[in-house]
A and B are shown apart, each in its own frame.
Chain A
């Protein structure tokens, strides 16, 4: 099995440790991982701003770089959802269509494809899980509180395999952090307030770390935690599962 590793643009630039952990974790689990170096972005920043007609170049590039792989794994729920829902290429329409089905967010790749049953990782801290909206309601990584349906959580399933890790309960288990792409600057007041409220819920319940399958949410909450000079840290789920 050969997996193409797609590292979202801002993760490459700001959070290389999460990307390294994703790579190392997959390698430890016996997967052949290839990182095509010409990759850039999934196109979501443009599309969510209403400029999906400008993503052609981005989509073509992604399709050309990744069509050869059995799977594409992405350590970001949001980018994965965008690719699954919107990837299209006038140059390579069939490849793009096929790729939509081969793209997996890291957590669901571990639980559904690799069917990981144990991990060699230790993280002796109290951890709050932030459900990113796109991972939750788009990829269905966990059950959504709005629905009358049986509960499950793929991130929690994996985190429960980590030694010493204690999950904390939250008052609002799946409320948005307010990042929302360009929303975070275009609607600064509401976005910041949402972020502050989300962080406060984790702090109230004694979390030492906030983790998530999405770094965009974590970047937002980290920005608020740093401004508040809080000791609470954010960490991508790959880093915990890889045993940092």
Chain B
């Protein structure tokens, strides 16, 4: 499997495309800045959101049980899934129970995390994603590269080609208005004919047993309202204690995500309408394990706004697929090692630790500090190359011994000055696009010995 550095190198072969990707996402970061600067109490809102989530994480089981009993009282069927496999089996069993082989699904990063589409397809179920971005990547047989903007890596011309192939639009048509209309017609037919609709969950309210789904396209509503069976999949960390807390989170979510004051649709689902069946699947899939890691537990505060991706100078120049996991970007890099340390050992190193992610995070997750901490864990547990470990040991020895350091410093400069072709060659990654610093005649300590009293 290719790691983040290798996948980024491929992405960077087309520099103009990297520029386009970077500028597109930076534009969204700027929209976010404009939106939050109109809210004088923004930092207070972030702090409040963070504190509410602290409370949730410290009382998670209490709120989940409260939610379950209220949802049951509302006539909703509640399922518990310990992992992705259990979640997928529950969905399949509901579909089979209704003898249905087709389903419409609105955006749910949890189902991406569980690889639900692959599982259902393998079991003879056709799934159509109704979020426009997700539908586009689905047609392209790809995965979302961004949790809020799934097809942000695709240019409109490429989308035009896909729609020409799958939806019958004219060849070469890339006008967004025309393409969106084609998607609307295509999805309308889907909404009208599917008996089962699956949605994600942005917030679940323990106090009332209701859940809230936020979309800009209204696609979750179209699917759910026209269906005979509504399945909602949620990670257990999506719970909030009371309805009034939505007044904090709904203000934070979309300003952070896209710079909008609120999503076009923030739909509350509480009970099935007459004749409808409503299911909620509460999914753990490693979340309890992460909750038990003191240094990493508050990664579970994440409300999936994607602002850390938009601001991340690495993400913007490496693309979401370089993270080779469902949740990409900085937040993905601290969530993924919890799922599999070996497969995702590269991700906490795919950062300069610049800290911009932590500053935009609407629930104040200390993302860059967790990246640093994951590095320590991954090294200690042996997931970093032995070559690196040897060179680090040599470095540590040198820095702990002043005499050795002085000699190494001298020879290092001597080496660079006398054999530039040896150091500055193509095997040295620094040299591919950068010159080495020119070694000075003397180091500071040599200058100091000549010019000041030695201590």
Which positions in A face B, CB cutoff 8 Å? Answer: 7, 9, 11-17, 19-20, 23, 34-41, 43, 45-58, 60-61, 133-134, 137-138, 144-149, 172, 174-176, 178-181, 183-197, 219-220, 222-224, 226-227
Contact = CB atoms under 8 A, between A and B. Distances in A.
A78 to B, nearest CB: 10
Given A37-B445, A37-B448, A148-B36, A188 B352 contact: no
A38 B397 contact: no
Contact of A58 (B4, B400, B412, B449): B400
A9 B434 contact: no
A38 B40 CA distance: 50
Interface string B356-372: 10111000000000001
B376 interface: yes
B355 A186 contact: no
A20 to B, nearest CB: 6
B33 interface: yes
Contact of B448 (A35, A55, A197): A35
Contacts of B313: 175-176, 178, 194
B189 interface: no
Interface in B291-334: 311, 313-314, 317-318
Contacts of B351: 180, 183
Contact of B437 (A52, A146, A223): A223
A190 B409 contact: no
23 contacts: A12-B443, A12-B444, A13-B443, A16-B446, A17-B440, A37-B445, A37-B455, A40-B402, A46-B399, A48-B375, A49-B379, A50-B376, A57-B399, A137-B356, A137-B358, A145-B33, A148-B43, A176-B313, A176-B352, A189-B5, A192-B432, A192-B434, A193-B12
A185 B426 CA distance: 12
A34 B18 contact: no
Contacts of B445: 7, 12, 35, 37
Interface string B427-455: 01110111111011011111111001011
B399 A16 contact: no
A190 B314 contact: yes
B376 A137 contact: no
B396 interface: yes
Contact of B429 (A48, A49, A181, A185): A185
B397 A138 contact: no
B355 A133 contact: yes
Interface stretch (B144-152, B164-172, B386-394): B386-394
A129 B393 CA distance: 36
A193 B317 contact: yes
A204 B342 CA distance: 43
B260 interface: no
A140 to B, nearest CB: 11
A51 B389 contact: yes
Nearest to B392: A51
A196 B18 CA distance: 12
B447 A20 contact: yes
Interface residues of B, number: 78
Given A50-B375, A148-B43, A188-B5, A223 B356 contact: no
A181 B375 CA distance: 14
Given A55-B396, A188-B429, A13 B372 contact: no
Contacts of B360: 146
B433 A20 contact: no
B413 interface: yes
B8 interface: yes
A192 B433 contact: yes
A149 B43 contact: yes
Main secondary structure of the interface of A (DSSP, over half): helix
A17 B405 CA distance: 20
B273 to A, nearest CB: 42
Contacts of B452: 23, 35
B433 A146 contact: no
A223 B352 CA distance: 18
B437 A16 contact: no
A137 B396 contact: no
A191 B178 CA distance: 39
B376 A197 contact: no
A174 B26 CA distance: 13
Interface string B87-121: 00000000000000000000000000000000000
Residue from A17, A134, A138, A189 whose CB has the most chain B CB atoms within 10 Å? A189
B396 to A, nearest CB: 4
Given A15-B437, A133-B356, 13 more contacts: A16-B446, A35-B455, A37-B402, A40-B398, A41-B399, A134-B355, A146-B359, A148-B37, A148-B42, A178-B313, A180-B354, A188-B9, A222-B435
Given A192-B433, A192-B434, A133 B352 contact: yes
A197 B399 contact: no
Contacts of B318: 189-190
B349 interface: yes
B401 interface: yes
A37 B350 CA distance: 36
B353 interface: yes
B378 interface: yes
Interface string B12-46: 10010010001000100000010011011011000
